[in-house]
């Protein structure tokens, strides 16, 4: 019988995709349970079906009002806690700071990276990777402590290289500070079509009307991870913001081009050997994640159309010919 492993990744789509190489390899040696947001079921069905999912929307991962304790779903949190304790996990791991949560699950061994005294909740505190490396290196370090040999970030290849004819342009992101202006995306799409590229436009629901007003009659608005994955079946290249869809594309083996703004590209570039990005302009507050001090994210919005068109043309010439 395999030992039982609990994996905590309670944050967003891109974060869980970054953990997916670890989950897949850990499933060979452990009975893996992933504690994550409900969208994890879509990832499980497609990428790591041997793992189990316990769904939870952790209130401290919300963008706003995350620490208004009287609004927390305490009954649901208690139910999930009891479920996890009853499983009697042999090992629990987290690449973030939810070490108290690990301790409350009752996992016999608890691995993570201590911070601000959280090491008291860990049985096996780990040394932090080099701070300049990709977030995936946290999972690679955890994997090494469990005798898993995960490849370096630059060598991760989740799926065979996609060679479809379609260029998928996704203009959405969870937070507005990561969204390059829509009008520039529209001009980029027009530029690509003028060069006879086959372009599929995908966006968030709140962007659909703007695309329609711009004359894009066939814009796709997926509402689930599964819907988005299905839109990528014939895609040979992905262009988009620093957001979950780019990480999903890389997982499928699709080369990605990412427009970064407030975040550090080296930490979060999609895991694909052919991933390309354009970095946001300098700002004294970078990296600031999703909380910009200005009315608009200059680091991202000061990337010009000309810069992006030139770099995208080079990217597509390499990937699609």
19 and 131, same structural domain? yes
207 and 130, same structural domain? no
Number of other CB atoms surrounding residue 312 within 10 Å:
23
What does R_g of the chain's alpha carbons equal in angstroms? 20
Q: Is there a domain that residue 158 lies in? A: no
Domain boundary among the residues 103, 127, 151 is at 151
Quote the DSSP letter at residue 240.
Answer: E
- Place 188 in a pLDDT band, splitting at 50, 70 and 90: very high
Could you tell me which residue, 209 or 162, shows the higher pLDDT? 209
pLDDT score of 77:
80
Give pLDDT tens digits for 96-108.
888 888 988 999 9
Q: Is there a domain that residue 161 lies in? A: no
Number of other CB atoms surrounding residue 275 within 10 Å:
23
Using a 10 angstrom Cβ sphere, with 0-12 exposed, 13-18 middle and 19 or more buried, the burial of residue 302 is middle
Portion of the chain with pLDDT greater than 90, in percent: 69
Residues 6+ apart with CB under 8 A from 64: none
pLDDT score of 63:
65
180 and 41, same structural domain? no
For the chain, what is the mean pLDDT? 91
Domain boundary among the residues 92, 124, 151 is at 151
Give pLDDT tens digits for 53-86.
999 987 777 766 766 777 777 788 888 888 898 8
- Place 35 in a pLDDT band, splitting at 50, 70 and 90: very high
The residue segments making up the domain with residue 17 are 4-151
- Place 19 in a pLDDT band, splitting at 50, 70 and 90: very high
Q: Is there a domain that residue 115 lies in? A: yes
Q: Rounded mean pLDDT of 130-153? A: 93
219 and 138, same structural domain? no
Given a cut of 70, whether residue 216 has pLDDT beyond it is: yes
Domain boundary among the residues 128, 151, 174 is at 151
Q: Rounded mean pLDDT of 264-288? A: 92
The three-class DSSP label of residue 278 is strand
- State the total domains in the chain: 2
pLDDT score of 67:
67
Given a cut of 80, whether residue 14 has pLDDT beyond it is: yes
145 and 206, same structural domain? no
142 and 233, same structural domain? no
214 and 123, same structural domain? no
126 and 172, same structural domain? no
List helix spans (H) across the chain. 13-18, 20-26, 40-47, 74-87, 99-104, 136-145, 182-194, 208-213, 225-230, 244-251, 265-268, 298-301, 305-320
CATH of the domain at 284: 3.40.50.2000
Q: Is there a domain that residue 159 lies in? A: no
65 and 120, same structural domain? yes
């Amino acid at each position: 019988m395999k030992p039982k492993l609990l994996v905590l990744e309670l944050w967003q789509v891109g974060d869980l995709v970054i953990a997916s190489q670890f989950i897949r390899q850990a499933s060979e040696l452990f009975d893996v349970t992933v504690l994550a947001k409900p969208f994890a079921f879509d990832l499980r069905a497609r990428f790591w079906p041997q793992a189990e999912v316990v769904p939870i929307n952790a209130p401290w991962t919300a963008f706003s009002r995350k620490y208004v304790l009287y609004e927390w779903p305490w009954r649901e949190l208690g139910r999930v806690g009891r479920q996890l304790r009853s499983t009697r996990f042999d090992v629990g791991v987290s690449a973030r700071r939810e070490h108290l949560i690990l301790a409350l699950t009752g996992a016999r061994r608890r691995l993570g990276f201590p911070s601000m005294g959280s090491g008291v909740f860990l049985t096996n505190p780990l040394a932090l990777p080099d701070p300049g490396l990709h977030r995936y290196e946290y999972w690679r370090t955890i994997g090494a402590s469990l005798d898993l040999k995960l490849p370096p970030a630059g060598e991760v290849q989740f799926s065979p290289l996609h060679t479809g004819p379609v260029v998928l342009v996704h203009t959405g992101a969870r937070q507005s500070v990561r969204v390059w202006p829509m009008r520039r995306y529209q001009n980029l799409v027009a530029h690509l079509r003028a060069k006879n590229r086959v372009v599929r436009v995908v966006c968030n629901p709140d962007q659909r009307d703007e695309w329609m007003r711009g004359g894009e009659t066939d814009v796709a608005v997926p509402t689930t991870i599964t819907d988005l994955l299905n839109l990528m079946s014939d895609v040979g290249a992905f262009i988009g913001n620093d957001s979950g869809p780019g990480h999903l594309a890389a997982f499928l083996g699709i080369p990605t081009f990412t427009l970064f703004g407030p975040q550090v590209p080296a930490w979060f570039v999609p895991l694909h050997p052919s991933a390309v990005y354009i970095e946001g302009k300098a700002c004294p507050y970078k990296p600031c994640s999703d909380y910009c001090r200005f009315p608009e994210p200059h680091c991202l919005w000061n990337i010009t159309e000309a810069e992006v068109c030139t770099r995208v043309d080079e990217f597509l010439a390499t990937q699609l010919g």
